[in-house]
Structures are given as C-alpha cells and as structure tokens.
Amino acid sequence: MITQNIASGVSCIYRQRCSIKDDEYLMQLEGDDVAVEEPLQISLQWFDPALNDVCHREWSLTMRTPGNDIALVRGLLLTQQVITCLDDVDSITVFDSEQRHSHNHLLVSLKKGIEPDWELLARSYVSQSSCGICGMTSMRSLCLKRPVSIDEAAGWLAPEAVLQMPQQLRNQQQLFARTGAVHGAGFWSGEGVVQIAEDVGRHNALDKLIGQIYDQDLWQPQSVLVLSGRVSFELVQKAMLASIPVIVAVGAPSTLAVDMAKQFNMTLIGFTKARQFNVYHGHWRLALDAER
C-alpha cells in the first residue's frame, strides 16, 4: 500500500522491521516515509531559420523527486548551456495525464533566435556520475529489452548474515577508507561478501561489480547485492537485470525502487544496522527460524 504526497516528495508505505530481542528475530509491520522518485522527460522546441519551421526534439530524461520541476529544468538549461539566461526561454509547458508517471514531461519552448547546440549537449550530457540514466532522452529507454529470471526460493537468507553485510562491505572498501568519497557495491553468495567495487558514481560501482561477477563466474541464483548508500530505481533495475534476487542497503530506498522490487518479486532491505533492518518487500526469503 502506497499513499503518495507529490507536493512534499514523500510517500508513506508499509514495511516490516526485523530486529533482535531476547536473542530472537522479531518482524513488525510499520509505516515509513520514503522519498518519491519518478522520471522527468524534458523536450525542447525552437524555431529553425534554415527550415523556416518550429522543431521539436526530446532532450533528456532524469530521475528526480517531484516538486519544483520548473526550477529544476531552468537550472539544467543554464548549467548544460542550452541557454545563457532565463530570458532565452519563451515557456515551459507541463504535460499531464491521469496515468501515474506519464505526467512527468516538460516541453521547453525557446525564444526565436535561440537554438540548441546539439553537438555540445551530446558531449556534456552523455552521463553523470550520480545518475546512470541521465543521458537517456526518452522514458521509452526505461523499458526492458530482454526477459529476466529471478530465483524464487524461500527461507535461505539468515537475518544474522544480513546484519553483517554492511560491515563486510566496508572492511573491503580500500578506496573509501583513503578518500571517504566513493560508493561501494558488494556481492554476497553464502560465504560472505566475496567481491566489491567502488566508484564516485553509485551506478558505476554497481556496473563494475556486475562485470566482475560475470567475468569471474561468481554469480549464484541465491545471492545478495550489498550497497553502501541509498537505493534508487536504477540500482534495483541493474540488480534485476543481473538476476540478483536480494538487495541489502545501508540507506533507504525510493518509491520507484520499492515499486520495481515488488514488480519483479525481489527482496529489498534498507536501513541495515547492527541489530535491525527494514524489509520493504520479499520477507519470505528470510530464514527467521535460523539459529543465532
């Protein structure tokens, strides 16, 4: 159940908290505030004197928390050098519909005499270190192009193992230990965290990890992705495409991350601490009767 409040960028969901009390694992259903994450598609419209006509083109797709979208687009236009001042913009139009997510589309109409430099935009906006999909231009790019297989086995993941995963990841993060400026992703396969990767971009760290897993033939159907920070839609999508059924994170998930975990029946765990963690979906993979 999700009750959404777009204006505040917060969604209230119900998840289960797994905690230790008197040497037993307890599961409690509780409400929780989760940050809203949705895609925003931005298109540009301008007058081309060579064609003597108005042109329209999809420019960018970015993930954001809804709210102040007009300000977000204005900032992007300035920082990506589409415009030199706000007076270069004639209007910003919001496309809306009753379908969820489909209203997230803004059309920017540039004033006559202002034309996008597409060569510059292609160079400057191919990828951002914090967002693996920001270089995409259309929501259609988010669609899956191949079927995926997620292991459905139940009762194989001991809560005690979950509680230990963040520290196992941290112990192997040599770059973070020296700089404090990188994200970490780890792969757990029953014998602890057996492989990790680090990068200034969380999506880059995960891509590196997935490449290592398959290159070294480490993948197993009952495995866990361990993340050093929060969980966004793109990270769940990458784990799903790599057929990793469980995500354990130090931070919280976004609404879209929870949605995707539910859609593909993945186990999503966040706010993992020394004696407790939150299960946003897929608690049935946990072996709650496991001995401590």
Q: Which residues are catalytic?
A: 131
| Residue 253 DSSP code | B
- Cβ pair 207, 223 in contact under 8 A: no
Return all residues near 196 (Cβ < 8 A) that are at least 6 apart: 169, 172, 173, 184, 185, 186, 187, 209
Asked whether the beta carbons of 116 and 83 are under 8 A apart, the reply is no
Q: Which two tokens stand for residue 270?
A: 């966040």
Tokens of 159: 């809560």
3-state secondary structure of 172: coil
Report helix, strand or coil for 99.
Answer: coil
**Pair of tokens at residue 135:** 């270089």
> Which tokens sit at 83?
């415009």
Q: Kindly tell me the burial class for residue 227, based on how many C-beta atoms sit within 10 Å of its own C-beta (0-12, 13-18, 19 or more).
A: buried
Token representation of residue 6: 């777009």
Looking up tokens 């329209």 gives 56
What is the C-alpha to C-alpha distance for residues 248 and 233, in angstroms, rounded to an integer? 14
